[in-house]
């Protein structure tokens, strides 16, 4: 029988970083903002060290994007990418009421997969 939970620690997994980007929008130019978000979502996948990202929208208006990267260098490469820098400037000028960026280390990871657990 397969173990249902698999737990990893830094000793047996690569040390990755999580970026938490929490924001609230001004409501200005929502179509342009959405187009830019789509463009940045595709562009980030080209950055060496990028792993994944997902964005969540809450009913209270907050948006949270979680990004996973292999290293701080990869995060800094993304943060300083020329097209991303231009998008950041537009966001600060027009689209964001406020935002907060937090970078975290992953110390452990627990996963569950029903398909694998029932094999």
pLDDT digits (tens, 9 = 90+) for 57-111: 999 999 999 999 999 999 999 999 999 999 999 999 999 999 999 999 998 888 8
Which tens digits make up the pLDDT trace of 61-76? 999 999 999 999 999 9
| Domain 6-117: CATH class, spelled out | alpha beta
Looking at residue 117, its pLDDT comes to 75
pLDDT in tens, 4-53: 344 444 445 567 999 999 999 999 999 999 999 999 999 999 999 999 99
| Among the listed residues 66, 73, 14, the one whose alpha carbon sits nearest the alpha carbon of residue 41 | 66
Residue ranges covered by each domain of the chain: 6-117
What is the DSSP secondary structure assignment for residue 8, as one 8-state letter? E
74: buried, middle or exposed (CB in 10 Å: 19+, 13-18, 0-12)? Answer: buried
CB neighbour class for 67 (10 Å; exposed up to 12, middle 13-18, buried from 19): buried
Is the whole model's pTM more than 0.75, yes or no? yes
């Amino acid at each position: 029988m397969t173990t249902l939970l698999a737990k990893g620690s830094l000793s047996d997994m690569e040390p990755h970083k999580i970026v938490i980007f929490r924001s609230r929008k001004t409501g200005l130019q929502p179509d342009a903002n959405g187009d830019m978000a789509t463009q940045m979502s595709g562009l980030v996948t080209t950055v060496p060290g990028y792993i994944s990202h997902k964005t969540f929208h809450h009913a209270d208006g907050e948006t949270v994007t979680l990004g996973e990267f292999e290293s701080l260098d990869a995060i800094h490469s993304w943060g300083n990418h020329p097209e991303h820098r231009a998008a950041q400037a537009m966001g600060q000028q027009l689209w964001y009421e406020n935002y907060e960026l937090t970078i975290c280390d992953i110390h452990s990871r627990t996963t569950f997969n029903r398909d694998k657990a029932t094999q």
